[in-house]
Structure 1
Amino acid sequence: MTEDYRTEQLDPAFYADREMLQAFLKKNGLVLEADMDCAFGIFDLEDNLCGCGCAAGSLLKCFAVEESLRGQNALGTLVSLLVQNRFQQGYRVLRVITRSHNRDLFLACGFYEVVSAGGLTMLENVRSGPETFARSVMPEEKPAGRIGAVVMNCNPFTLGHRGLVEYAAAHCDFLYLFVVEEDRSDFPAEVRFRLVEEGTADLPKVHVVKSGPYMISQATFPTYFLKQDEDAVSLQTELDITLFAERIAPALGIGVRFAGEEPKDPVTARYNEAMARILPAAGIAFKQIPRITGDDGEVVSASYVRKLLKENGVCPEVLSMVPATTAAYLKEEWKQ
């Protein structure tokens, strides 16, 4: 950039900085997302904000550059500042999710394409990230035969989850059970992971692993660049499943993915519909399994267990819907 511009770090938690970022992004047809913890701005000689870039954890987002800065490597400057800041904060692998027509701009900033789907592209600052992740979760003795996968949040681990895992394990030779690692649930990620490990310890073919950064959640999917009439859930779903089908499953030899039917949650039902469409086209089978119901005919679900916990605490009905390992945790640790 020329000497007519300067860069400055902004604090999204500071009201004046946040208002300035929000107004600038709005002027450029974008929305400021709530979870930012870092931002940089480019200012002209009159202290007008002319460009910005932000980050939430390891995800870089909310980029906007005015026309007057185009062709001056403004994006490269913002990305460089954000990368340096994120490294200082301990983040090493950084990611961007953007519209595919911006792909080359981020490639020029040293990022590498991970996956593209639905007009969106995910990039990161390392080569072969999904394959490196796959090697990190693979057991020492490489599994053979029919390899399956289940992805679960388990908030908390219930008999419904246990039933799905039992079915999946019985229909393959080895099963990867990915527990969503993101810590945005009622039960902390480490607790959920431990309950799943304990609740499946008697199933020798089941390999419980953390989902890592390549299972894109609705909570972390950036929507700042979407128009009002665009469906964020559909776009996130398309990108997530395509990433699994093109990069994760081949690296781990996964040939079938299992999921429970979803009679109540429309978002999960749409996710299952998308898996049924995308996975077979990539040569990966998809199996939906009927949900387990209790004596009252109610589907055994983690959301129902959480509802009962909030209303009645660790009551007999809750204990009837969870494995003994989850029940033991609730009796000892749960506090309303």
Structure 2
Amino acid sequence: MPAEYLVSKVWPQDRATLAKVDALLAQEGIERDANLDYTCAIVDDDLNVIGTGSCFGNTLRCLAVSSEHQGEGLMNKLITHLIEVEYERGNLKLFVYTKTTAAKFFRDLGFHEIARVDGTLSFLENRPDGFPGYLRRLSSSRRPGTAGAVVMNANPFTLGHRHLVEVAASACDTLHLFVVSEDASLVPFDVRMRLVREGVADLGNVVVHESGPYIISSATFPSYFLKDDVAVNEGHARLDIAVFCRIAAELGITRRFVGEEPASQVTGVYNRVMCEELPHAGIECVVVPRLEVDGSVVSASTVRCALQTGDLDTVRRLVPESTYRFFASDEAEPVLARIRAACDVCHY
């Protein structure tokens, strides 16, 4: 009769157990993710870690069971425990990224696949109507004529973002502008969304959307089961594209506009993969040259650096008036305090 194993929290200061967690993950070809806020483990009578799992936000990550104990229901125990932890935190909408070979296991446990990159990873959620419901809500904003799309973080909204939106909006009847909803940026989502809406309010054919949890930021994309940085960046891009293609089909989008980013390797990979993959779904990828001011490209990181040092003159040259008004007001003080306290505002 199999032993009755318990699932226990692993505290961050318990280095001995974490080392055993890392060893088990390594056996399964997984490296412990840098973005984790809860880890649990199952240990045997000799205190060997034979199963482990973790969370970050409302995502389940880094799940592994020793090959010697597979088939004993330990993975089910781990996932049940993590779901209970998430529910206690108030996270009822849960997501999991896993290898495609393990996707069926999660579907059997009640998760529903949103998208996959064949041979690499699957993206699933625990609600049967989560992504389909999001698509239905988007469909109400579908309009006659040609449709394009822009996806942006806007951390914060700059003249460069405005330029991209203007170029895209002039090339189609309706432009769907998606603002990444995840609060993984120095400028909080509610502020980013407000500044985007104010910054494009005069463009009548632009429809602004929250991305919800379905357009994934680099801060929360899981990298623990991909072999290197290039694989991580390509995997992230391909998953983003797989999700986006379903959104595009719902809204009749046939062009996606992206800003040129020659200095960023990550964005360069994204743009390359989009240019390769989107045409297969009947979507043209249009790379728009960056806006320059005084001989330099406008970037959100430059604006954040200026905000950190209190250089509002530079900020004013690089952002729309609505963005400047916000950062020059007392209302912006909590955001400015966060930026001033950050160690690296240029690449955050």
Q: By the TM > 0.5 criterion, same fold?
A: yes
The aligned amino acid for 1:103 is A
> Partners in 1 of 2:210 and 2:189 — Cα distance?
9
> Partners in 2 of 1:142 and 1:284 — Cα distance?
16
The aligned amino acid for 1:300 is V
* Structure 1 partner of 2:344: none
> Partners in 1 of 2:27 and 2:132 — Cα distance?
39
> Partners in 1 of 2:122 and 2:142 — Cα distance?
31
Q: 1:229 to 1:118 in 2, by over 3 A?
A: farther
> Partners in 2 of 1:85 and 1:248 — Cα distance?
31
Deviation, 1:179, is 0.9
Between 273-282 and 182-191, report the one with greater CA deviation.
Answer: 182-191
The aligned amino acid for 1:171 is A
Equivalent runs, 1:1-336 vs 2, <5 Å: 3-16=2-15, 18-119=18-119, 120-139=121-140, 142-228=142-228, 231-245=231-245, 247-294=246-293, 296-311=294-309, 313-332=310-329, 333=332, 334=336, 336=340
Cα displacement string for residues 227-275 of structure 1 (whole angstroms, at most 9, x for unaligned residues)? 3486211111111112211x22112322221111222222112211111
> Partners in 2 of 1:135 and 1:91 — Cα distance?
23
Contact persistence 2:257–2:288 (CA under 8 A)? yes
Cα displacement string for residues 153-206 of structure 1 (whole angstroms, at most 9, x for unaligned residues)? 111111111111112112222221111112122211111111111111111211
> Partners in 1 of 2:8 and 2:176 — Cα distance?
42
Between 276-285 and 23-32, report the one with greater CA deviation.
Answer: 23-32
Deviation, 1:142, is 4.0
Q: How many residues matched? A: 331
The aligned amino acid for 1:4 is A
Cα displacement string for residues 206-236 of structure 1 (whole angstroms, at most 9, x for unaligned residues)? 1212111111222111122223486211111
For structure 2, the residue ranges without an aligned partner over 5 or more in a row are 341-348
Deviation, 1:59, is 1.0
* Structure 1 partner of 2:346: none
> Partners in 2 of 1:200 and 1:279 — Cα distance?
26
The aligned amino acid for 1:279 is L
Q: 1:35 to 1:269 in 2, by over 3 A?
A: closer
Q: What RMSD in Å do the two structures reach over aligned CA positions? A: 2.1
Deviation, 1:9, is 2.8
> Partners in 1 of 2:34 and 2:14 — Cα distance?
12
* Structure 1 partner of 2:345: none
The aligned amino acid for 1:326 is T
> Partners in 2 of 1:131 and 1:144 — Cα distance?
22
> Partners in 1 of 2:35 and 2:286 — Cα distance?
35
Contact persistence 1:180–1:212 (CA under 8 A)? yes
Contact persistence 1:180–1:215 (CA under 8 A)? yes
Contact persistence 1:149–1:178 (CA under 8 A)? yes
> Partners in 2 of 1:89 and 1:302 — Cα distance?
33
The aligned amino acid for 1:192 is R
Provide TM-score, normalisation by structure 2: 0.88
> Partners in 2 of 1:94 and 1:252 — Cα distance?
25
SS at match of 1:219: coil
Cα displacement string for residues 71-105 of structure 1 (whole angstroms, at most 9, x for unaligned residues)? 12221221122222222222222221111122222
SS at match of 2:109: coil
